[in-house]
Amino acid sequence: MSAENPTIEDLPIDPAFPPETYDRMARLLEVTAVVFFLLALIGFVARLVQDWAMPLSAVIHREPRSWYWTPEAYFSNLFAFNPSSVILLGVAVMMVAVIGRSVISAIGLYRAQENVLASITVSVVTLIAIAFLLARYGP
Amino acid sequence: MIPDLTPLADLLITILIVAVLAGFFGALAGLGGGMILQPIFVLYLGLSFGDAVGASAIGVLATSLTTGAAFTRERIMDLRVANLIASVTVPGALVGATLTVLFAGTRIEPLFLIAFGLILIANIPGTVALRRPKGEPYNGRPDRLAELLHLEGNYLDRPRRKVVHYRAKRVRETMGVMFGAGVISGLFGIGSGVLNVLTMDRVTGLPIKVSTTTSNYVVGIDIMASLAILFAGGLVQPTLAAPVAIGSAAGAYFGGRMLPKMDSGWIRWVFLALMVIFGIEELLKGVTGL
């Protein structure tokens, strides 16, 4: 430790949020951001390829002999899934990151016996979860 | 032979390019790209107001998470303040998003455009105010609520090479304003970052770096809550959301990396000018649509 040139290690340790808590949150965000980015990219490329290839492949389907030899048909087969589902899966991954970060906060606050703020944090997470459940299964 | 782009592919690639540029320059200007994405979608790309809100919200969420990891590792954000503020911004965002779902596409929609135009213009003095240094962070007597919830902390101020201690004040007032920030966030699918930071900086008395990073955390939660409602209302089109998310996240990532290496002062002014232009255009579009 140096008083003249302090580093992040010189910060006083917060009982609710020790350095490991921040590292855990950062790792969660990094991993989910990469997974989300890849899923969104796959969904986006698939949508473009389908948009380009599908109408052509629909024509080619009538000529079975040429089916495997056209790039349009090949790609439309390769990306024969619903791109929207993949993108929505990516959004769900981001939801895990946001909720997970709040849950990690709440656990830290409970451990430090800061029960009021911990309960507030849990309430916020619960509210978001209820909103999603209502959105999915509600009227 | 490269085939001609279909209209949909053309739109998606345009959205991707716009999102990359907004994310990149938004990060350099320190304002985020959400404030200009939504008006570009509505004014120039022909998206409906509702679809633009949904797409913009996805972009803001992607940016918030991409940049959030670095902020978290620096241990600057105040998690106590963030969780407390989220307790009012999340209900606000749910209210705002519900209003958008109920009234997007109706005869009332032009009022939303007018309101958003006014918010864009109102952001200008706030953004300029944030450039003026406030002086030392508040370190006086905490108010009762701040004391009860231990709303104080420390962070490492690298340029000044010192550990800075701060305390929160006027917590009730902060929460009142932040509910409004949440409503705006949900209504328009934007992060309300300027309002968040300005409130934490000027009302709560937090240092600007703590306010900025804490706002990033709060924006992530708000937007996630808004998305629940926007999904239910059918205002999030995955096909549009993907290029916005990819472009915003990639732009913000590279913009954030370039920030220390270049003088970004002029970019901020260009951004502010764009906000004025878009604000006036949204106002006019709203007024003519009434």
pLDDT of residue B159: 80
- State yes or no: pLDDT of A21 exceeds 50: yes
Provide the token pair at B259: 């920030």
What is the distance between the alpha carbons of residues B281 and B277, in angstroms, rounded to a whole number? 6
- Domain locations along chain A: 19-137
DSSP states of chain B: -PPPPPHHHHHHHHHHHHHHHHHHHHHHHTS-SHHHHHHHHHHTS---HHHHHHHHHHHHHHHHHHHHHHHHHTT-S-HHHHHHHHHHHHHHHHHHHHHHHHHTTSTTHHHHHHHHHHHHHHHHHHHHHHHS---SPP-SPPPHHHHHTT-EEEEEETTTTEEEEEE---HHHHHHHHHHHHHHHHHHT---HHHHHHHHHHTS---HHHHHHHHHHHHHHHHHHHHHHHHHTT---HHHHHHHHHHHHHHHHHHHHHGGGS--HHHHHHHHHHHHHHHHHHHHHHHHH-
For the segment A23-68, what is each residue's pLDDT rounded down to a tens digit? 999 999 999 999 999 999 998 988 888 777 765 555 444 444 444 5
Q: Which residues of B199-224 are buried (b: 16+ CB within 10 A; e: fewer)?
A: bbbbbbbbbbbbbbbbbbbbbbbbbb
Mean pLDDT of chain B: 87
Tokens of A45: 């490329």
DSSP letter at A69 equals G
Q: What is the pLDDT of residue A64?
A: 45
Asked if the C-beta of B91 comes within 8 angstroms of chain A's C-beta atoms, the answer is: yes
The pLDDT value given to residue B1 = 43
Position B261 scores a pLDDT of 72
pLDDT at B3: 52
User: What is the arithmetic mean of pLDDT over A90-102?
Assistant: 90
In this prediction, residue A72 carries a pLDDT of 59
DSSP A39: H
CB atoms B232 and A134 under 8 Å: yes
Residue ranges of chain B whose pLDDT lies below 70: 1-5, 30, 32, 130-136, 260, 263-264
A108 has a pLDDT exceeding 90: yes
Please provide the average confidence, as pLDDT, over all residues in chain A: 81
A98 against B141, higher pLDDT: A98
Q: pLDDT: is B144 or A71 the higher one?
A: B144
pLDDT for the residue numbered B260: 67
For residue A62, what pLDDT is reported? 46
- Which residues of B are less than 8 Å from A33 in CB distance? 62, 65-66, 69, 249
Pick A117's closest partner by Cβ from B16, B149, B162.
Answer: B149
CA B227 → CA A8, A43, A53, distances in Å?
Answer: 35, 19, 32
pLDDT value for A55: 57
pLDDT of residue B162: 86
Q: What is the pLDDT at residue A59?
A: 47
Q: Residues B127-136: pLDDT tens digits?
A: 777 666 566 6
Confidence (pLDDT) at A134: 85
Contact residues, A window 92-121, toward B, CB-based 8 Å cutoff: 94-95, 97-99, 101-102, 105-106, 108-109, 114, 116-117, 120-121
Task: Please name the residues in contact with B256: beta carbons below 8 A apart, sequence gap of 6 or more.
Answer: B27, B67, B70
Q: Which residues of chain A lie closer than 8 angstroms to B246, CB-CB?
A: 37, 40-41, 44
